[in-house]
Amino acid sequence: MAKRKSIKKKVNREELAKEKFFKLNKKSDENDASVWFKRGMDVSDPEKKLACFKRAYKLNPKFEDLLFQMAEVLFQAGKKDEAFELFDMIFAINPDSENAFLNKGAFLFEDGRDEEALELYARAVILYPENDWMWVNRGNSFSRLENYEKALECYTRALEIDPKAAETWFSRAGVLNTLDRNEEAIEAYDRGLALNKKIFEAWHGKGAALQKLKRYEEALEAYEKALKLNPKLANLWISKADMLQMLERDPESLKAYYKALEIEPDNFYSLLASARILMRYSKFQDALNYADAALKCSPKSLEALKIKGDANYFLGRHRRALQAFNKILAISPKDPEIWISKGCAANYSGSFEEAIESFDMAFALGSETSSARAQRGYSFQELRKYGEAIENYDRALTLDPENLKIWNSKGVVYSYLKEYEKSFECFDKLLAIRPDDFSALNNKGTVLYDLEMYEEALECFNRAFEINPNFREAKKNRQITTGILKEKKTS
């Protein structure tokens, strides 16, 4: 007799696993609510947990611990209304349930419903005045509603009940920190840390309180301890970096900001702070890169745009600098410093009329500086409006007689006007104070050259070249003048 071919059935593995999961040891267990409750407690999968709890609920709808656990699972699954309905059921079974007051209040707090939580805890602390966590949770809601004095009263009461509760000390310290009662905050952090040194938030909070008291070294030490406990939190690295800046330890500060950015590459604060430090160290391209990254996070950041403008300016990319300054002025048109920066960028872009308009806006806004006046003078100089240039240079010197570079600029303009005596007078005033000013020496030499006083001119060019051998203009003028003097000798 021939064998019949067996038919292979496709097995649903999920169904098989589910069947195995729900298989109980004894048939009688199917009707035991406590068994289903225990199975629900033993599994981690929320759906399986809830399925077990529902089986238990059908068997015993007044099982208080079961209702608590069901509420927890439903709340975490986002089914908050169903979770709160279960608390109503618990209160219907036991109107004075201590756990129901505590847990419902905690869920209300987590859901941001602080007023309702406080209403609940007001009843709870009358029924259970010695339950310190009722007072702590009540304090937390007061704190979030910015009723800090009430929060402190609650934490104080909780600590009278249990003075060894580290977390309560930390909650109290946090409120004191917010109120700038920093010495008291530090004392509270220390009390809590004596009980539990492994809470990084406490070290972080203590560091913030110490920082506000300008106890920077101690603050840094606290931040370091926080980082040992949690080195993967960007905000801790930022706090450390900020503190290092306060201590003028910029290179270390920059490294700490970089660590924060390894964790959160789009952290705007760290990107901007890094750009700021790099600008101080004249690392303009790097600063520009970080400013651009910061602007991707916050396109209208005025500080990031300013760094972008300044970095491009110092890199000689004056048109790009001008674009950045224009973006700032579109957002904040009454910032005189930006109008001055725009004027300088416009000057070096060859947009002299635009530069003059920018400086005029800055002056109208009440910011007339010597350097801005000098730049405005340069605008007129390049437009060959020499009278206006001299007027601006004179005004710049009135504002700051120590701005010696202006004498150099005035000397050049007088030479263009062929007022050579005045020109020499300007150069000599500068060189009497700063005899190694190679630019003034070169410019004086140029005027002497124009007057065919070649030997005197060569002396100036030689001196300028000795001071700065990389000064190409002086080198070139020196060669030309030397050539002329040689021709004169041979002729």
Is the CB of residue 209 less than 8 Å from the CB of residue 186? yes
How many domains would you assign to the chain? 2
Q: Is 399 exposed, middle or buried (0-12, 13-18, 19+ CB in 10 A)?
A: middle
389 and 421 in a single domain? The answer is: no
Q: Could you tell me if residue 169 is inside a domain?
A: no
Distances, alpha carbon 188 to alpha carbons 58, 164, 225, 262, 290, in Å: 49, 12, 17, 33, 39
* Residues 437, 384 share a domain: no
> Is there a single domain that holds both residue 386 and residue 443?
no
What is the predicted pLDDT for the residue at 84? 83
> Final residue of a domain: which of 381, 403, 425?
403
Does some domain include residue 383?
A: yes
| CATH of residue 488 | 1.25.40.10
Cα separation of 68 and 477, whole Å?
92
Q: Is residue 227 part of a domain?
A: no
Contact in structure between 329 and 300 (CB atoms under 8 Å): no
434 and 466 inside one domain:
yes
Q: Do 380 and 425 reside in the same domain of the chain?
A: no
> Which residues lie below 8 Å from residue 29, measured CB to CB, with a gap of 6+?
35
**Residue 225 located in a structural domain:** no
Would 486 be classed as within a structural domain?
Answer: yes
Q: Please give the structure tokens belonging to residue 310.
A: 């300044």
Phi-psi map region of 335: left, alpha, beta (phi>0 left; psi -120 to 50 alpha): beta
Nearest by Cα to 68 from 51, 48, 88:
88
In a domain, 421, yes or no: yes
Residue 363 half-sphere exposure, CB side, CA atoms within 13 Å?
20
Instruction: Give the C-alpha separation, 84 to 63, whole Å.
Output: 16
- 365 close to 334: Cβ distance less than 8 angstroms: yes
Q: In tens digits, what is the pLDDT along the chain, a chain of 491 residues? A: 232 222 233 334 444 344 444 454 455 567 777 787 788 788 788 888 778 777 777 877 777 777 778 778 777 888 888 888 888 888 888 888 888 888 888 899 988 999 999 999 999 999 999 999 999 999 999 999 999 999 999 999 999 999 999 999 999 999 999 999 999 999 999 999 999 999 999 999 999 999 999 999 999 999 999 999 999 999 999 999 999 999 999 999 999 999 999 999 999 999 999 999 999 999 999 999 999 999 999 999 999 999 999 999 999 999 999 999 999 999 999 999 999 999 999 999 999 999 999 999 999 999 999 999 999 999 999 999 999 999 999 999 999 998 999 999 999 999 999 999 999 999 999 999 999 999 999 999 999 999 999 999 999 999 999 999 999 999 999 999 999 999 888 86
Report in angstroms the alpha-carbon separations of 323 from 4, 279, 305, 309, 326: 85, 19, 10, 8, 5
- Would residue 24 count as lying in a domain? no
DSSP state at residue 26: S
Residue 477, domain extent: 417-491
Burial class (CB in 10 A: 0-12, 13-18, 19+), 235: middle
Q: Are residues 421 and 490 in the same domain?
A: yes
Query: Each residue of 201-217: b (16+ CB within 10 Å) or e?
Result: bbbbbbbbbbbeeebbe
Token pair belonging to 284: 């303009």
- Report yes or no: 86 and 71 within 8 Å, Cβ to Cβ: yes
User: At 316, phi and psi to the nearest 5?
Assistant: 80, 10
Which pLDDT score, from 0 to 100, does residue 29 have?
Answer: 65
Shared domain for 438 and 488, answered yes or no, is yes
Kindly state whether residues 431 and 459 are assigned to the same domain. Answer: yes
Do the Cβ atoms of 267 and 261 come closer than 8 Å?
yes
Final residue before a domain boundary, out of 403, 425, 450: 403
In a domain, 99, yes or no: no
pLDDT for the residue 51: 81
Q: Which of 403, 426, 454 is the last residue of a domain?
A: 403
| pTM greater than the 0.75 cutoff | yes
